[in-house]
């Protein structure tokens, strides 16, 4: 996969046509900032009937049910579900560890974020993008409508993976970012030396419907098949720390067990906090991920 | 019996110390270098946290994990080990156990002409020669570290064995000898070859090979259908390796016998009898063709049907199916070659045809010199001679005095109690008086004599029974060195032959008239045999088919010039004549015809060619399914799988080491 240089590289027209039929779904119902196309717990002005209540002074007479008044001689007010917009926050890990693998994890993250953001924009949701790398957090918020697609794409193209990621700080910034409650997508490899628990803990309980998409390159999942074998000096892409390893089958097996344990602990942590977790191998077709995997997980409909 | 177990391989180490030194001096330094200069390739990964923990876990459980499954180190160790092994010079002995001498006995009998030898569908003999050559090359593999190669002797055997190459250390000489082996259609007998190998092994080779008490290893290349195996036993320490040549199921149809008789009522016609045999294990049928001098004259009106070859219930031997065929009333001139041929296509063409020379139309020219007794005259006239003259001794002496070549004008001169003045040349059947001027020395008479020793296999004694012969008186003679006693009594020879230059005679040392022999059938048979034998120059008549390997010998008419011989293959060569027009042609090893032609002769109307027919013995050589083992008198030799020989392994080890190094280099390149 080549380095994307244009927005078309991130999201081609064929995939775009598929995505036009999809929408972001939240398992939770949030209060939006403006009228949107989504149900909320507020009673509002949609056509979907919700309940009756007694008329009180000052209520809008347009919502009085005159038929009931004719039968019971009492004023009742018809209440309807309010349709509100949805806040979609996409956080992309842009640390150096994401610049690894074939297909490259960072490029895959860019394309995935672009596709999900596009779905949000098309469905008139509020879309906000965050990236975190090298102790910096960059954001692009307040996007709505299809016409913001190019702006979002350009922002993603400008992302450069570098340095170490402070996942906890990034999550804290997102939680306090005032984006409103909605769907939060975390796109990362979750290979944080200091752990992922602190970061995830900071965004739970804040009303986000959180999806953790863990990107792993094929070389990370099965290193022996991709030539990581023999006497090696392994260099950490973020810290530049070196580890001398004789990658025998026993060591590779041990590595795989370690990675599996890491993924399992992340999944268990997410399940306990109602966070949806999905491991994504970057060799997986993006369209398959969106149309098949994420629809099955309930993120898209 | 020391049958070689094919699966047991012995390994000899020529330089084990050198190999051990090399291994000890290179492998430990390699390991040390590996630890000291372990080269790790640098590789960037997303995160090292899992790798670090994995390596720590494994290292904690296996302190020497660096050595474990390090492919490069393993390949280097393997290459060094192979080199050390190669320097130790192992030699795999495929069953010879360091034999000093090997005699290759190659069967070239008729059955080895079957066309199922090898992938190219050549003959079995060609396959045997190819495998023998491979064997010689393997035994003399040579090379820098090659050990001593055994001496090789090459013997070809059929009805008799021939040494083509005595024990030699020259593989080129042995291979040339193998390549020179020519096919025959003879019977197969190996005893002579084994005896030759034993003799040469005991006496040493012509090239100075020392004699040895260790017997030679006998390697037999054959289809196993050898006639005299049951009379062969091995000596102590003698070993036989049987290289089986040929397939298992090879059906074959052939002519086992042929005979021609002239029809008494029409002497120009003959009746041809043929016996057809089939070694096929299923019923078969074939047409028969009758050819005269190569010209097709008749075909059987319907195919001849043959059953399947059957196992003999008593002996277990396979017996071929057989049937008779007759071609009646065929016009055949005297001396023509009559051939019966099966049209079925099989793997052995040599036995598909049998030939015979048609007997002459008339009889012999015979002169009876002496008293001209009624008995002898009657017997001779009863044999339908072409001409028959009765002469007195005086008339005979006068004629000979006038023309010394007079005896050559007759096929046989019968002398009855007569001693002619001159017996320098001619063919004589003599009764009674001992001949003069020969090596036979008379010394009186003996009375009341009975035969004590009779050579019944002699042509004179065919169908002759002398059990009741009692001779009241016979001449006592001492045979000379050129005499051959056929019937002998305690008192001396009763019947003998003599052959000296142009003179051939059969001498009966008693007068048959004084015995009861003339009243017995055997007297007529003896007289007929003697006349035919003498007429042929003391040799079998030309119209009897010969077996492959036989020598055709006979006599050409006086005055025959520029004789030449032409065989079935079309080759024509001049024929050398011995004294008295006698010749010896052969041995004729291939089935077919050999025709002698000449110019001139004492009589212008006489024929100027003489044909000999040679027929393969289909009964003995026609069975083509190769035997699994050689069943000797007291033991058996199982056929050995086809393979090369004892061989030095070091070249292969060096090659393997080079390949391993190549692989190691490739792996190293991939990692850097």
Condensed to tens digits (0 to 9), the pLDDT of residues B97-131 reads: 456 788 999 999 998 888 875 556 688 899 899 88
Helix (H/G/I), strand (E/B), else coil: A298: coil
Q: What is the pLDDT of residue A189?
A: 93
For strand B10-13 and strand B90-93, is the pairing parallel, antiparallel, or unpaired?
Answer: antiparallel
Which domain-ending residue is among B333, B360, B387? B360
- The DSSP secondary structure of B463-475, one letter per residue, reads T---TT--EEEEE
pLDDT tens digit sequence for B373-383: 888 899 888 87
pLDDT at A34 over 60: no
Q: For A233, which residue in chain B has the nearest alpha carbon?
A: B42
C-alpha distance from A283 to closest chain B C-alpha (Å):
16
Residue B545 falls inside a structural domain: no
Q: Which residues contact B334 (CB under 8 A, 6 or more apart)?
A: B358, B359, B360, B361, B607
- The answer on B500 and B529 residing in a single domain is yes
Confidence of residue B369 (pLDDT cuts 50, 70, 90): very high
User: CATH number of the domain that B445 lies in?
Assistant: 3.40.50.880
| Nearest by Cα to B389 from B402, B404, B403, B407 | B407
As a whole number, the mean pLDDT across chain B is 81
Distance CA A245, CA A250 (A): 11
Distance CA B96, CA B102 (A): 9
Q: What is the pLDDT of residue B668?
A: 78
Chain A partners within 8 Å of B39 (Cβ): 231
Residue B329 falls inside a structural domain: yes
Residue B416 falls inside a structural domain: yes
Q: What mean pLDDT do residues A203-232 have?
A: 87
Residue B618 falls inside a structural domain: no
Which domain-ending residue is among B309, B338, B360? B360
How distant, in Å, are the alpha carbons of A70, A225, B327, B360, B452 from that of B261? 146, 89, 11, 10, 35
Confidence of residue B368 (pLDDT cuts 50, 70, 90): very high
Is-contact A168 A198, C-beta < 8 A?
yes
C-alpha distance from A166 to closest chain B C-alpha (Å):
15
Q: What is the pLDDT of residue A215?
A: 94
Q: What is the pLDDT of residue A47?
A: 55
Q: Which of A214, A233, A250, A257 best probes binding to B when mutated, by most B CB atoms within 10 angstroms? A: A250
Q: What mean pLDDT do residues B578-582 have?
A: 74
Q: What is the pLDDT of residue A35?
A: 46
Q: What are phi and psi of A48, to 5 degrees?
A: -90, 115
- Nearest by CB to A100, from B40, B46, B71: name it: B46
Least confident segment among A106-110, A200-204, B265-269, B564-568 = B265-269
Is-contact B652 B92, C-beta < 8 A?
no
Contact A248 B70 (CB under 8 A): yes
Contact B48 A234 (CB under 8 A): yes
Q: What is the pLDDT of residue A181?
A: 73
- The answer on B413 and B397 residing in a single domain is yes
Q: What mean pLDDT do residues B12-20 have?
A: 70
Query: In chain B, what is the greatest distance between 2 CA atoms, to the nearest angstrom?
Result: 137
Confidence of residue B400 (pLDDT cuts 50, 70, 90): confident
Task: Count Cβ–Cβ pairs < 8 Å, chain A vs chain B.
Answer: 111
Helix-strand-coil percent breakdown of chain B, rounded to 5?
A: 25, 35, 40
Distance CA B171, CA B371 (A): 71
User: CATH number of the domain that B142 lies in?
Assistant: 3.40.50.410
| Helices and strands (H and E) in chain B: how many | 11, 38
The domain total for chain B is: 5
pLDDT tens digit sequence for B419-439: 887 787 888 999 988 888 888
Q: Is the dihedral of CA B546, B123, B161, B636 positive or negative?
A: negative
Residue B665 falls inside a structural domain: yes
Residue ranges of E strands in B347-386: 353-357, 365-370
Distance CA A251, CA A257 (A): 10
Least confident segment among A221-225, B298-302, B334-338 = B334-338
Q: What is the pLDDT of residue B36?
A: 64
Residue B452 falls inside a structural domain: yes
Q: What is the pLDDT of residue B604?
A: 47
Contact A248 B43 (CB under 8 A): no
Confidence of residue A56 (pLDDT cuts 50, 70, 90): confident
Chain B partners within 8 Å of A259 (Cβ): 50
Cis peptide upstream of residue A103 (ω within 30 degrees of 0): yes
Distance CA B532, CA B538 (A): 8
Helix (H/G/I), strand (E/B), else coil: B598: strand
Distance CA B101, CA B239 (A): 11
Q: What is the pLDDT of residue A32?
A: 47
Residue B116 falls inside a structural domain: yes
Contact A234 B70 (CB under 8 A): no
Q: Which of A230, A240, A263 best probes binding to B when mutated, by most B CB atoms within 10 angstroms? A: A230
Q: For B66, which residue in chain A has the nearest alpha carbon?
A: A246
- ipTM value of the model? 0.79
A232 touches chain B (CB under 8 A): yes
Top-level class of domain A7-30+86-216+279-296? alpha beta
Helix (H/G/I), strand (E/B), else coil: B47: coil
A151 touches chain B (CB under 8 A): no
pLDDT tens digit sequence for A127-150: 999 999 877 899 998 888 888 999
Q: Which of B34, B41, B46, B49 best probes binding to A when mutated, by most A CB atoms within 10 angstroms? A: B46
C-alpha distance from B175 to closest chain A C-alpha (Å):
53
Per cent of chain A over pLDDT 70 is: 88
- The answer on B22 and B112 residing in a single domain is no
Query: With left for phi above 0 and alpha for psi between -120 and 50, is residue B644 left, alpha or beta?
Result: alpha
Quote the domain boundaries for residue B461.
365-535
- Rounded-to-10 torsion of CA B224, B229, B233, B237: -20
Q: Which of B34, B35, B39, B54 best probes binding to A when mutated, by most A CB atoms within 10 angstroms? A: B54
Domain boundaries, chain A: 7-30+86-216+279-296, 35-84
- The answer on B629 and B602 residing in a single domain is no
Q: Which residues contact B495 (CB under 8 A, 6 or more apart)?
A: B460, B485, B486, B487, B506, B507, B508, B509
- The answer on B658 and B638 residing in a single domain is no
pLDDT tens digit sequence for A153-207: 999 999 989 888 889 999 988 888 777 778 899 999 999 988 999 999 998 888 7
Contact A98 B68 (CB under 8 A): no
Q: For B46, which residue in chain A has the nearest alpha carbon?
A: A97
Chain B partners within 8 Å of A249 (Cβ): 69
Per cent of chain B over pLDDT 90 is: 14
Contact A248 B68 (CB under 8 A): yes
- The answer on B204 and B164 residing in a single domain is yes
Q: Which residues contact B139 (CB under 8 A, 6 or more apart)?
A: B102, B149, B150, B152, B171, B645, B646
pLDDT at B317 over 50: yes
Distance CA B664, CA B74 (A): 9
A251 touches chain B (CB under 8 A): yes
As a whole number, the mean pLDDT across chain A is 84
pLDDT tens digit sequence for B277-299: 998 888 988 999 999 888 888 88
Q: What is the pLDDT of residue A84?
A: 56
- Nearest by CB to B54, from A220, A232, A255: name it: A255
pTM: 0.51
Which domain-ending residue is among B317, B341, B360? B360
Chain B partners within 8 Å of A246 (Cβ): 55, 65-66, 68, 70
Chain B partners within 8 Å of A105 (Cβ): 46
- Nearest by CB to B40, from A233, A249, A257: name it: A233
Q: What is the pLDDT of residue A97?
A: 92
Query: With left for phi above 0 and alpha for psi between -120 and 50, is residue A124 left, alpha or beta?
Result: left
Q: What is the pLDDT of residue A42?
A: 46
Residue B617 falls inside a structural domain: no
- Nearest by CB to B70, from A98, A246, A252: name it: A246
C-alpha distance from A31 to closest chain B C-alpha (Å):
40
| Nearest by Cα to B104 from B73, B67, B131 | B131
> B168: number of CA atoms within 13 Å, CB side?
20
| Nearest by Cα to B238 from B210, B211, B218 | B218
- The answer on B531 and B428 residing in a single domain is yes
pLDDT at B136 over 50: yes
A224 touches chain B (CB under 8 A): no
């Amino acid at each position: 996969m080549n380095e994307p240089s244009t927005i078309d590289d991130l999201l081609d027209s064929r995939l775009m046509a598929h995505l036009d039929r999809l929408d972001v779904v939240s398992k939770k119902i949030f209060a939006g900032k403006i009228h949107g196309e989504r149900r909320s717990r507020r009673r509002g002005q949609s056509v979907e009937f919700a309940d009756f209540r007694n008329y009180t002074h000052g209520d809008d007479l347009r919502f009085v049910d005159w038929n009931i008044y004719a039968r019971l001689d009492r004023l009742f007010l018809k209440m309807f579900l309010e349709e509100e917009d949805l806040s979609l926050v996409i956080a992309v890990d842009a640390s150096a560890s994401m610049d690894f693998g074939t297909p490259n994890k960072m490029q895959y993250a860019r394309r995935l974020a672009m596709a999900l953001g596009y779905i949000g924009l098309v469905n008139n949701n509020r879309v906000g993008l965050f990236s975190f790398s090298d102790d910096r957090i960059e954001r692009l918020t307040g996007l709505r409508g299809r016409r913001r697609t190019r702006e979002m794409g350009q922002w993603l193209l400008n992302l450069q993976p570098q340095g170490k990621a402070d996942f906890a700080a990034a999550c804290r910034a997102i939680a306090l970012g005032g984006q409103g409650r909605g769907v939060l997508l975390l796109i990362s490899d979750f290979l944080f030396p200091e752990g992922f628990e602190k970061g995830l803990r900071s965004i739970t309980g804040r009303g986000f419907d959180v999806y953790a998409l863990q990107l792993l390159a094929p070389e990370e999942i099965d290193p022996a098949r991709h030539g990581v074998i023999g006497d090696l000096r392994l260099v950490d892409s973020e810290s530049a720390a070196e580890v001398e390893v004789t990658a025998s089958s026993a060591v590779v097996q041990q590595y795989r067990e370690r990675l599996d344990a890491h993924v399992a602990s992340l999944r268990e942590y997410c399940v306990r906090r109602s966070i949806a977790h999905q491991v994504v191998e970057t060799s997986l077709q993006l369209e398959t991920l969106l149309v098949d995997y994420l629809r099955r997980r309930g993120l898209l409909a | 019996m020391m049958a070689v177990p094919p699966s047991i391989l012995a390994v000899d180490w020529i330089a084990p110390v050198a190999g051990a030194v090399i291994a000890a001096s290179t492998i430990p330094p390699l390991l040390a270098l590996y630890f000291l200069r372990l080269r790790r390739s640098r590789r960037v990964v997303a995160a090292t946290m899992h790798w670090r923990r994995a390596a720590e876990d494994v290292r904690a459980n296996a302190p020497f994990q660096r050595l474990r499954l390090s492919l490069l180190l393993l390949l280097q160790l393997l290459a060094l080990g192979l080199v050390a092994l190669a320097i130790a010079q192992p030699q795999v002995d495929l069953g010879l156990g360091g034999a000093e001498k090997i005699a290759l006995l190659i069967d070239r009998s008729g059955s080895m002409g079957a066309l199922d030898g090898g992938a190219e569908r050549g003959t079995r003999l060609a396959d045997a020669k190819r495998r023998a050559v491979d064997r010689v090359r393997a035994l003399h593999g040579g090379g820098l570290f090659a050990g001593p190669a055994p001496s090789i002797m090459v013997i070809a055997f059929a009805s008799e064995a021939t040494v083509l190459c005595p024990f030699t250390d020259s593989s080129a000489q042995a291979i040339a000898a193998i390549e020179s082996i020519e096919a025959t259609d003879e019977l197969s007998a190996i005893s002579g070859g084994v005896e030759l190998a034993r003799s040469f092994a005991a006496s040493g080779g012509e090239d100075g090979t020392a004699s040895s008490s260790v017997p030679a290893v006998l390697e037999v290349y054959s289809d196993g259908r050898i006639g005299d195996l049951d009379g062969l036993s091995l000596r102590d320490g003698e070993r036989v390796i049987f290289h089986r040549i040929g397939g298992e199921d090879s059906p074959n149809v052939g002519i086992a016998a042929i005979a021609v008789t002239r029809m008494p009522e029409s002497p120009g016609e003959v009746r041809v009898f043929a016996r057809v045999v089939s070694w096929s294990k299923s019923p078969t049928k074939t047409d028969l063709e009758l050819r005269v001098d190569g010209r097709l004259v008749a075909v059987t009106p319907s195919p001849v049907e043959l059953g399947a070859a059957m196992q003999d219930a008593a002996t277990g031997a396979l017996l071929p199916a057989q049937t008779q065929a007759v071609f009646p009333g065929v016009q055949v001139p005297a001396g023509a070659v009559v051939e019966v041929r099966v049209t079925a296509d099989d793997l052995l063409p040599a036995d598909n045809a049998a030939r015979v020379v048609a007997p002459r139309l008339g009889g012999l020219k015979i002169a009876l010199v002496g008293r001209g007794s009624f008995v002898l005259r009657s017997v001779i006239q009863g044999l339908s001679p072409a001409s028959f003259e009765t002469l007195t001794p005086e008339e005979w002496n006068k004629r000979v005095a006038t023309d010394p070549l007079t005896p050559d004008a007759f096929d046989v001169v019968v002398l009855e109690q007569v001693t002619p003045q001159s017996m320098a040349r001619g063919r004589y059947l003599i009764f009674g008086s001992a001949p003069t001027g020969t090596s036979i020395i008379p010394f009186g008479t003996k009375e009341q004599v009975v035969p004590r020793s009779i050579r019944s296999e002699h042509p004179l004694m065919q169908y002759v029974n002398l059990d009741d012969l009692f001779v009241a008186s016979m001449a006592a003679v001492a045979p000379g060195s050129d005499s051959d006693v056929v019937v002998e009594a305690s008192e001396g020879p009763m019947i003998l032959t003599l052959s000296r230059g142009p003179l051939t005679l059969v001498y009966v040392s008693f007068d048959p008239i004084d015995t009861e022999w003339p009243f017995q059938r055997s007297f007529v048979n003896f007289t007929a045999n003697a006349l035919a034998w003498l007429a042929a120059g003391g040799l079998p008549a030309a119209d009897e088919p010969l077996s492959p390997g036989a020598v055709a010998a006979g006599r050409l008419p006086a005055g025959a010039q520029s004789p030449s011989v032409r065989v079935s293959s079309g080759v024509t060569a001049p024929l050398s004549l011995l004294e008295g027009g006698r010749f010896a042609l052969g041995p004729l090893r291939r089935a077919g015809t050999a025709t002698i032609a000449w110019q001139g002769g004492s009589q212008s109307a006489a024929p100027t060619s003489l044909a000999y027919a040679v027929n393969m013995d289909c009964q003995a050589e026609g069975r083509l399914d190769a035997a699994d083992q050689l069943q000797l008198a007291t033991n058996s030799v199982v056929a050995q799988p086809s393979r090369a020989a004892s061989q030095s392994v070091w070249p292969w080890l060096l090659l393997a080491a080079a390949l391993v190094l190549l692989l190691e280099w490739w792996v190293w390149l991939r990692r850097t």
